[in-house]
Amino acid sequence: MSTIRRRDFIAGAAGAAWPLAARAQQRADRVRRVGILMPAHVGALLNAFKRGLAGLGWVEDRNIRFDERNGTDSNQIAVHAAELARLAPDAIFVVTPIAVRAMQRASADIPIVFAGLADPVALGFVSSLAHPGGNITGFGAGGSNESGFATKRLDLLKKLAPNLQQVAVLYALDDPPSAAAWAEIEPAAPSLALRASKVPVRNAEEIERAIVALAREPDSGLCVGAPSVFVLNRETIAMLALRHRLPAIYGFRNFVESGGLASYGTDIIDHYRHAASYVDRILRGEKPRDLPVQLPTKFEFVLNLKTAKAMGLDIPPQVLALADDVIE
């Protein structure tokens, strides 16, 4: 599998540009501790976060120590959050709404930085994007405030598979961005000659049942956003879509790297790397309440030609030209 890079979309925001020598001198007094709470299978994303810190002068086991906890079950995450709070690190890096909520309940004082989180205002983690107002801030993945974002995915899916007649939108229950995406897609579908249906799901079993049921309907496709329940099950979703030859478009490129057909969304690796800049600034004394939540300004369309071929899709040249990355 090779990746052809066409253009590099980079989400905004960065830390102060201090010389590395000056940073190292200031931090020589003590080792800083950073807690990490995230799913166990996102090693590449965690590495991007750590590389971001290393580029800012933080060297593991020299001037920084990581206390890592992994889990996906809500009860397990709550236990890990309490453990991290008791360790009282200088900052905590988290992903997924469940993990942020658990840390929010565990501590109102320890600085918390998130990455790739959709609509943190709607989720109640910050007062506003410009003024978070508490101990939580970070880098969002867009959400209901990104007008036209969901319908763009739908439009690209129709371009990839012109024969589609209906599309099922996987809908994560208790996820505000899912509700916002459906509110866009429902009225937009008829203009693309599509019938759209909302399919509420909560876990891997319900996701599999929904995809198997959709596969029984001819000329059907699948639209999958970026809620954590989908990200956590991305390999299963991509495998089922391929097995049943269901054209599908996703919210993050890692779905495509796991065998999915296409994605339209932000570069999540870039988000994790940039999140390190906020942890860096907090370790230097800044407060989360003073660091505005950063949202993406650029998006990327990623296409998996191997999957397209396996599904029998002949991608039109004009659609191929739109892709920012092509996996072959």
pLDDT digits (tens, 9 = 90+) for 65-75: 999 998 877 88
Q: Which of 284, 323, 292 is nearest to 305 (CA)?
A: 323
Check residue 41 and give its pLDDT: 65
CB 171 within 8 A of CB 199: yes
Check residue 253 and give its pLDDT: 87
Q: Which of 36, 202, 230, 185 is nearest to 114 (CA)?
A: 36
Q: Look at the block and give the residue holding tokens 């200088």.
A: 90
What are phi and psi for residue 38, nearest 5 degrees? Answer: -160, 165
pLDDT exceeds cutoff 90 at 205: yes
Distance CA 230, CA 235 (A): 9
Confidence tier at 271 by pLDDT (50, 70, 90): confident
pLDDT exceeds cutoff 90 at 36: yes
Confidence tier at 130 by pLDDT (50, 70, 90): very high
Check residue 119 and give its pLDDT: 80
Across the chain, mean pLDDT equals 86
Spell out the residues 6+ positions from residue 113 whose beta carbon is closer than 8 angstroms to its own.
Answer: 91, 92, 93, 94, 136, 137, 138, 275, 278, 279, 282, 288
pLDDT exceeds cutoff 70 at 64: yes
Radius of gyration of the chain (CA): 20
> How many Cα atoms within 13 Å fall on the side-chain side of residue 190?
2
CB 108 within 8 A of CB 92: no
Please count the other Cβ atoms lying within 10 Å of the Cβ belonging to residue 126.
25
Tell me the average pLDDT across 132-154. 78
Check residue 142 and give its pLDDT: 59
Q: Which of 188, 159, 135 is nearest to 301 (CA)?
A: 159
Spell out the residues 6+ positions from residue 193 whose beta carbon is closer than 8 angstroms to its own.
Answer: 158, 165
Q: CA-CA distances (angstroms) from residue 283 to 28, 85, 212, 280?
A: 13, 17, 48, 5
Confidence tier at 179 by pLDDT (50, 70, 90): confident
Confidence tier at 22 by pLDDT (50, 70, 90): very low
Check residue 232 and give its pLDDT: 79
Spell out the residues 6+ positions from residue 183 whose beta carbon is closer than 8 angstroms to its own.
Answer: 144
Check residue 6 and give its pLDDT: 44
Tell me the average pLDDT across 91-103. 92
CB 281 within 8 A of CB 16: yes
Residue with the larger pLDDT of the pair 202 and 322: 322
Q: Look at the block and give the residue holding tokens 């799901």.
A: 201
The amino acid present at 62, given as its one-letter code, is R
Q: Which of 175, 283, 174, 260 is nearest to 211 (CA)?
A: 260
Predicted model pTM = 0.77
pLDDT exceeds cutoff 50 at 217: yes
Confidence tier at 287 by pLDDT (50, 70, 90): very high
Check residue 44 and give its pLDDT: 78
Domains and CATH numbers, the chain: 3-142+267-290 (3.40.50.2300), 149-265+300-327 (3.40.50.2300)
What percent of the chain is predicted at pLDDT more than 90? Answer: 64
